[in-house]
Structure 1
Amino acid sequence: MSYSDLRMKFISFVLRKYRHFTKKNSNNLSFEHQNFKRIMIISNKLLGDFLFCTPAIRALKEKYPHAEILAVISHKNKGIIGENNFINKVVYMDSTLTDVLKALPEIRKFKPEISVIFHSRTPYDLILSVFSRSNFIIKHYFNNDIKKLFNVCDHFVLDPCTPPVLNHLALISKLGCDTQGKKMFFPAEVPKIMKDSTSPLIIGYQLGASKPNRYLPETTLQQLTEMLSLHSPLCEFHLFGAPSEKPLGDTFVKGLTEETSHKVVNHIGKTTLQGLAHTLNAIDILITPDTGTLHIATSLEIKTVSLFVTRKENGCEPQQDPHLHNVIYASDYNELAFDRTFPKPLEFIPAEIIFKNILSSLSEKNELSAR
């Protein structure tokens, strides 16, 4: 038996013993029949991963309207949660034992009755849940999570063939929640910006992604931008990205004609998460790879054209509002996209195809030609 297996076996023994001696269930009801007043949800991975669980959070609040919900999220997502109707408290924790120990005192004060783990990392999420003295623990084991400690959970979902939004809803269906709604929400107030025919058409670009092979290819994007600029001379191009992605923006702008470069507004590295949502809410359509920015736009019901490398049955494409979202796959244009070592598979998608998808998305109200 490997060291890792021995470690997990020891953790399992400790957690199960601790649960046995501390679990309180005076009414002897199974968790499906409880009327929870204090719910802890854990989703402390990337930005998009948190937004994927928001349909399930809404369903929990609808099932338990008088319950307080505490969200455990990553330090990287600090500031994303503001005034909203679903989440009452926030605790920040990443997947380290040090972070678990720091988070525990505040969570114990909250006294969670159930821990709902949407996307975290074994064993830290389960250590937190057990030592917070949560009576019930249910967990979605994400595709890349460690598949251990099932016997610590009261219920779990393990389905590598389904998108995360649907798996999160499947997890809480055991509680009797209505899981028909797949719409994500942004967990802060974002006022809708009113536009008219005199407003410039604003096209957003998210240049970077979590991995370099998902970056929007600069040459393709430069070609696309010149095509859009010719088609709609008054349009603007707004760039989005993290501070580390500033060089991507600089390189992109340098490859444009001088006239087109003056139409670019660069937001890369200049916004908070809530600020990003407010800025995105002003655009007409977003061109993006698979990123948190795509998922913010989806939650705000903003039109998108997203570029993915390959189709996956458990992929992260938008699960809502299909009339707003067009998805293009590089593997449809070159089989080399299936090769994970290929450095820039999104280059296989021609600029003309992206252009046609943008025209299609905006054609309903003739938005592109009108502005």
Structure 2
Amino acid sequence: MGPRILIVNVNWLGDVLFSTPAIRAVKKRFPDSFLACLVVPRCAGVLENNPYLDEVIVAQGRAPFYSLFTHLRIISTLKKRQFDTAIFFHRSKTKVFWAWMAGIPERAGYDEKGRRWLLTRSCPRPEAALHRTDHFLHLLEFLGIPGQGREPDFRPRPEAQAELDELLESHGIVKNAAYAVVHPGGNWSLKRWPVPYFIEWIELFLKKYQAHVILCGTLPEAALSEKISSHFKNGRVISFCGKTSTVTLALLLKNAQFLLSNDSGPIHLAASQGTNIIGLFGPTSPELTGPISKGRTVILRKEVGCEIPCYYRSCDTRVCMEWLKPAEVFEASVKVMDGK
């Protein structure tokens, strides 16, 4: 019987996708292991059909504001699994504490946030900033686990295609119809291309192509998408915000002509499906959080004299996104759409 290994994952969809090459590497190194992954609910769908995982453990509760009952329940869950090793992709001290309380004897992770005393194997942070995928793989190399490629691994369950087909048909989109997917949202406002720019881009796209535009996003992003879709009355611009699961969104992206998106979760879902991508980057860095895809990837950003990445939540000028004009983005879209 092989070792029982727990991977404690991060809290954002894109970062969890970035971790899948590391999950693959652990299983390849220990093929007889029982390999589980602890993840928050909103990211569990990314891992539900992962062939390298034996179990996905969902940490129910509102991170990081867990109740005492939630702490005790998670610790009990981990203790019952009798893990030999926990590998922490997450920076949290709390989650290392869970593993310690659960009696997991070997606990490995980066030395940060004052948690060295809780770790049995503490990896110094890399001197230079790495892409998030390489950040996880670097930790594994420290532990003697070689990488097995950088491509993300997300395999939607096949039966979800019927769910997507039903959703498409309910909006008048027939099978094999051409469509582009647009994600206008993002974790914070500075990452988002302006709404009027999306509207202008869609006008240009619909004028040139007989295709649909499908807006995607979470339910809280529905109001943002409505500002865009309400501008169009021809039935060719449709919002699926809040109507797709992680799995059905991945399949939607897989069959799209391309995805136009800010730096956000859907861009990495598209990458995992080999979808062509046009990524709009402003205050964040594609070198650190950009998509890794077998499909065609076009990253658009402006050099505006600022320090990028800045990760600012507010800015007086917003020039990094506002200088990226719809005509320029449309020109890139035509090249992707026409395969040039």
Consecutive unaligned residues in structure 1, runs of 5 or more: 1-34, 367-371
Provide the residue aligned with 2:226 in structure 1.
250
Out of 80, 85, 108, which is 1:138 matched to?
Answer: 108
Cα shift readout 1:274-315 (whole Å, capped 9, x = no counterpart): 222222222121011111111111111111111111463862
Q: Distance in 1 between matches of 2:88 and 2:100?
A: 12
Give 2:99's aligned amino acid: S
8 Å CA contact 1:336, 1:342 repeated in 2 = no
Q: Distance in 2 between matches of 1:255 and 1:336?
A: 33
Out of 273, 295, 299, which is 1:300 matched to?
Answer: 273
Out of 150, 174, 182, which is 2:142 matched to?
Answer: 174
Alpha-carbon distance change, 157 to 166 in structure 1, aligned in 2, over 3 angstroms = farther
Provide the residue aligned with 1:353 in structure 2.
328
Provide the residue aligned with 1:265 in structure 2.
238
Question: What pairs with 1:4-43 in structure 2 (closer than 5 Å)?
Answer: 36-43=2-9
Provide the residue aligned with 1:102 in structure 2.
73
Give 2:145's aligned amino acid: C
Q: Distance in 1 between matches of 2:323 and 2:72?
A: 47
Provide the residue aligned with 1:9 in structure 2.
none
Give 2:205's aligned amino acid: L
Alpha-carbon distance change, 219 to 308 in structure 1, aligned in 2, over 3 angstroms = same
Provide the residue aligned with 1:21 in structure 2.
none
Alpha-carbon distance change, 110 to 188 in structure 1, aligned in 2, over 3 angstroms = farther
8 Å CA contact 2:20, 2:152 repeated in 1 = yes
Q: Distance in 1 between matches of 2:42 and 2:91?
A: 14
Provide the residue aligned with 2:17 in structure 1.
51
Q: Distance in 1 between matches of 2:211 and 2:134?
A: 37
CA-atom RMSD in angstroms: 2.6
Alpha-carbon distance change, 282 to 128 in structure 1, aligned in 2, over 3 angstroms = same
Question: What pairs with 1:283-294 in structure 2 (closer than 5 Å)?
Answer: 283-294=256-267
Provide the residue aligned with 2:85 in structure 1.
114
Give me the TM-score of the superposition, normalised by structure 1.
0.77
Q: Distance in 2 between matches of 1:150 and 1:71?
A: 22
Describe the SS at the equivalent of 2:47: coil
8 Å CA contact 1:84, 1:189 repeated in 2 = no
Question: What pairs with 1:270-285 in structure 2 (closer than 5 Å)?
Answer: 270-285=243-258
| 1:356, distance to aligned residue in structure 2 (A) | 1.9
Describe the SS at the equivalent of 1:355: helix
8 Å CA contact 2:151, 2:293 repeated in 1 = yes
Provide the residue aligned with 2:215 in structure 1.
239
Alpha-carbon distance change, 218 to 337 in structure 1, aligned in 2, over 3 angstroms = farther
8 Å CA contact 2:123, 2:142 repeated in 1 = no
| 1:88, distance to aligned residue in structure 2 (A) | 1.4
Describe the SS at the equivalent of 2:145: coil
Give me the TM-score of the superposition, normalised by structure 2.
0.84
Query: Kindly, what percent of the aligned residue pairs are identical?
Result: 18
Alpha-carbon distance change, 276 to 312 in structure 1, aligned in 2, over 3 angstroms = closer
Alpha-carbon distance change, 179 to 106 in structure 1, aligned in 2, over 3 angstroms = same
Cα shift readout 1:299-345 (whole Å, capped 9, x = no counterpart): 11111111111463862002343x5211111x32x446868413644
Give 1:161's aligned amino acid: A
Is 1:85 aligned with 2:51?
yes
Larger Rg: 1
Describe the SS at the equivalent of 2:6: strand
What is the number of equivalent residue pairs in this alignment?
Answer: 315
8 Å CA contact 1:79, 1:274 repeated in 2 = yes
Cα shift readout 1:70-109 (whole Å, capped 9, x = no counterpart): 1110133244432331111122223336333211112111
Give 2:200's aligned amino acid: Q
Consecutive unaligned residues in structure 2, runs of 5 or more: 162-174
Alpha-carbon distance change, 212 to 190 in structure 1, aligned in 2, over 3 angstroms = farther
Alpha-carbon distance change, 276 to 311 in structure 1, aligned in 2, over 3 angstroms = closer
